Structure 1
């Protein structure tokens, strides 16, 4: 039987060897192009580029980079899945091997469409790199950005990843010159759905050293009545006194209140600017410049973000089982940052294939119980619905589901008070119970309680807190009533 099996495998390998050769060569070429593109993007992102055409070219190259890695990792995961199905041990080294027939063979299972996709990605990336030499020369003329040691991690930790171009557009708007006699200050509307990253974007703008050197004072106005006013930065410059006011709205602007606000703002020094963020399209009418629209990440961008956060500087293919689970998890989350932050806190605490597999099963069960969350075809704000979010637990016989009725943020850092919702400002304590403990049966509180969903380890070091209630399965509840 063993000899027959070996002959069968040899026959299949010989049959597909000619077909596989171009595919593997294409993957090798893709990997080389991605390394080149990655080096160019990394170098350019370290420069203070102000030219809009160059920023657009950098954005295109960055998108091609994400698509390329998504395609490469997808093929690699198929190889690993095929190897597992055929009983081959891929071990810890998981590159596209020229010597492992099991790995080479399974790539063809994606069919001709997969090869077409690979060809299309290669041509697109080659086209983006066609004028790379000129771009490198021009970008090298711009000054380097001064970064704090933790800046790269800060961008990722606060979902700024993939928003570099948007951030530069905002900063360029802030630096636009204004006629000294013009009392109408510039207003930039930023529009996007909830949790897409509007607050995170303006937060990073407000802590940028260039912005803090240009404006003497930065203030935040929150709420539809503008009562949540907080001055978060004041450099004591009594000469220029340029002011940056960031207005965060939940919905539409109260027109009468806005008129009074603009009338009062005319007393501000020339060069002062306003940024208004909202989910409403109506704020476009109040802008003095075209609006900036934020959208959720595409699957390619989100996967790159997901794997960098999960694996850091490690090569994902050094952990083939985990990479396969991670890609499945990223697809399940559908670029939902709220879900990602919860899963990131859980998965990074235990880098184990069995644990990740269990978490993936819980994630899929969660989507079944909450189809209105993480649904790209029908995006809704889960917190605006009159129904709780149900999170399944590992020990369903005793815990059932965690019912999430509300979410808010707390922080012990007073300088970021403007980020907190009204319900959070009076309570800055960190819950002792974590969502992870609840999901895996390590904590069994009774009644209503609060739980820590995730915690930022980098300033502003906020805590995301869920208001929870345990729900027992119907069968268990019925037995309890009968007793």
Structure 2
């Protein structure tokens, strides 16, 4: 190892404190002052740790996101065979475009939609997504993507048909053994499949190495929920999609 330089690439899913960064940075620089560190993140606030001008990747245009969404959602199926579902896909692209974490959200939902190409199913998933956004704007005053990025809880009652909140979570070996795990697609397809205790919800897992998972810690808040808590004020239907 003598004479070799070290390159460290770090991906931050959320912001960290300045003191924590200084300790981390000092550790590697102490090993070799020629060590280089590259920070990757969706959070522009982390640019304060850099010593050079940051490089910002441009956001996909609506047309680019719409094309990518439909390509992944339909897979090998010809979209022309499902013209009504194409319209729903376009609406999904409008909902996701410009929001924080749009690419992760896109992968999350195309993974769900590929399971069932029925236009009724797609409409139902889209409707639940819209209701979930409205609910969190009403309860917490922020978009779910923004809330998750800042470490705040997000209400996912509209997807689970049961009062649940999720916060960001890092999966490791011990966690997988301690808590039951469920994918977002499994929860959407069958809300009754949710574990009765706290669990880890995997919104999406990369198909290529190192197969990074985007996971959240989910807990019930049924004890804090009252009948007037729903945005619509109407009785919820216990029908899954």
TM-score with structure 2 length normalisation?
Answer: 0.68
Gaps of 5+ in 2: 230-241
Give the SS at the match of 1:368.
helix
**Equivalent in the alignment of 1:454:** 204
CA deviation after TM superposition for structure 1 residue 248, in Å? 4.6
* Greater Rg over alpha carbons, structure: 1
- Structure 1 residues 252 and 352, CA, compared in 2 at 3 Å: closer, same or farther? same
**Equivalent in the alignment of 2:90:** 327
CA deviation after TM superposition for structure 1 residue 321, in Å? 1.0
**Equivalent in the alignment of 2:135:** 369
Q: Kindly indicate whether residue 150 of structure 2 is the aligned counterpart of residue 384 of structure 1.
A: yes
TM-score with structure 1 length normalisation?
Answer: 0.37
The 5 Å alignment of 1:17-28 reads none
Q: Is the 8 A contact 2:8 2:37 kept in 1?
A: yes
> How many residues are paired up?
211
**Equivalent in the alignment of 1:438:** 187
Q: Kindly indicate whether residue 166 of structure 2 is the aligned counterpart of residue 400 of structure 1.
A: no
**Equivalent in the alignment of 1:426:** 174
Gaps of 5+ in 1: 1-237, 411-423, 478-483
- Structure 1 residues 248 and 367, CA, compared in 2 at 3 Å: closer, same or farther? closer
Q: Kindly indicate whether residue 114 of structure 2 is the aligned counterpart of residue 344 of structure 1.
A: no
- Higher relative contact order, chain-length normalized (CA < 8 Å, sep 6+): 2
Give the SS at the match of 2:210.
coil
Deviation digits for residues 123-168 of structure 1 (CA, Å, limit 9, x no counterpart) = xxxxxxxxxxxxxxxxxxxxxxxxxxxxxxxxxxxxxxxxxxxxxx
**Equivalent in the alignment of 2:218:** 468
CA deviation after TM superposition for structure 1 residue 327, in Å? 0.7
- Structure 1 residues 381 and 402, CA, compared in 2 at 3 Å: closer, same or farther? closer
Give the SS at the match of 1:433.
strand
- Structure 1 residues 244 and 327, CA, compared in 2 at 3 Å: closer, same or farther? same
Q: Is the 8 A contact 1:393 1:402 kept in 2?
A: no
- Structure 1 residues 436 and 260, CA, compared in 2 at 3 Å: closer, same or farther? closer
Deviation digits for residues 349-368 of structure 1 (CA, Å, limit 9, x no counterpart) = 11211111111111111111
Match of 1:265 among 11, 21, 32: 32
Give the SS at the match of 1:382.
helix
**Equivalent in the alignment of 2:234:** none
Give RMSD over aligned pairs: 3.5
Q: d(CA) in 1 for partners of 2:11 and 2:194? A: 38
CA deviation after TM superposition for structure 1 residue 444, in Å? 4.9
**Equivalent in the alignment of 1:355:** 121
